[in-house]
Amino acid sequence: MDEDLVELGTKLVRTHALRAGDALHLAAAVRLSRYLGRRRFRFTTADNEQADAAEAEGIRVIRITD
């Protein structure tokens, strides 16, 4: 966790109306996807709002459902 990650998480809260913890989780995923390359990265979540936000950020999502 560093200042840049918190800044990105804050941006994601404002852009997608996420809860703080979900935004930080997504911010870490956004950063990692940039490092690995978006084509190789998948984000897994059971939270529909978080999944929608991740997709809006260009991340491929695996949605967990019951």
DSSP 61: E
DSSP assignment of 9-46 equals: HHHHHHHH---HHHHHHHHHHHHHHHHH-TTT-EEEES
Give the pLDDT confidence of 12-56 residue by residue, as tens digits. Answer: 999 998 999 999 999 999 999 989 887 788 999 999 999 999 999
Q: Is the pLDDT reported for residue 66 higher than 80?
A: no
- Residue matched to tokens 């560093």: 2
The predicted structure's pLDDT at residue 1? 87
This prediction has a pTM of 0.88
Look at residue 39 in the predicted model and tell me its pLDDT. 78
In this structure, which amino acid lies at residue 19? Answer: R
Q: How many CB atoms lie within 10 A of CB 16?
A: 17
